Homo-oligomer: A and B are copies of this chain.
C-alpha cells in the first residue's frame, strides 16, 4: 500500500515530513504545465530557481530564461509562463532556467528533503500515476497554490492523481480526501470548472491566457515523466 498525503500550499509544507517520500510538485497554472509541455516538445532540461537574480545569473551564462512574477513575464527573460512559448522550436535541445511566483518555490522547498521530486501537471497525470505505482513509495503531492493560499486547479491535479492511485493506496489526510472528491465531482469538464471557478483563471485575461488555460486543463496530453536530478529537471527514460 502506498501512503498518500497532500499539501495544499507550500505555506504549510513544514508540517509535513518529506523524508523517504516521492514529492510530486504541481503548479497547473502554469509553471509545471510549461515544464511538461516544453520537455515533451524537445527542451533538453529545465533548471528551476527561486529568485529572479539566480535566473539572471544563468542568463549571463547563455541560458534561455523563463518565468513570471505575479503572472507577468519578467522583462529581462527570454520567455514568460505560457506553455506555447516553452514548446517553440527555438528552444528544442536547449536548457531553460525558470522562476515563477509559486511553482519553482514549491520545487525548491521539496528538493531539500524529499527522496525524489517529480513534476506533475494535468498534462502528464497518468505518466506520474504509472511511475508511482511502479515505485511503490509513499508520496506527498505538493500544490504550489497562489501566494500561499490553496488553488483549485492544483487541488484538482492532486485529486486526479489520487483517483488513479486510490485502489492501491491509503489516503492519510483530509486534504487528499477533499482533493479526490473535488476531482471526482469535476471530472467531466476540468476546463469549464477551472475557467469558471478558479480565482487564478479570473486573473488570466485575454485570448492568449484563455488558450493557455484550456491547454493546461488537458489531462494526458503527453506521457513523459519529468524528474529532478541535482538542479535539473529532465525526462526520466
- Give A residues with C-beta under 8 Å from B: 8-9, 11-12, 15, 146-152, 155, 172-175, 177-178, 181-182, 185-186, 197-200
B151 touches A174 (CB 8 A): yes
Which chain B positions have C-beta within 8 A of A11? 11-12, 15
Query: Can you report 19 A-B residue pairs in the complex whose CB atoms are below 8 A from each other?
Result: A8-B8, A11-B15, A12-B148, A15-B149, A146-B174, A149-B173, A149-B175, A150-B150, A152-B174, A172-B199, A173-B199, A174-B198, A174-B199, A177-B197, A177-B198, A178-B178, A178-B182, A181-B185, A185-B185
Which chain B positions have C-beta within 8 A of A175? 149-150
Closest to A9 in B: B12
Question: Separation in Å of the A28 CB from the closest CB of chain B?
Answer: 12
Which chain B positions have C-beta within 8 A of A172? 199
Question: Separation in Å of the A52 CB from the closest CB of chain B?
Answer: 22
Interface SS of chain A: helix
Known: A9-B12, A185-B185. A178 touches B149 (CB 8 A): no
- Of A9, A148, A174, most B-chain CB atoms within 10 Å: A174
Known: A12-B9, A182-B181, A185-B181. A174 touches B155 (CB 8 A): yes
In Å, the complex CA distance between A172 and B13 comes to 24
In Å, the complex CA distance between A63 and B181 comes to 44
B147 touches A15 (CB 8 A): yes
Closest to A201 in B: B174
Closest to A179 in B: B178
Which chain B positions have C-beta within 8 A of A151? 174
Which chain B positions have C-beta within 8 A of A152? 174, 177-178
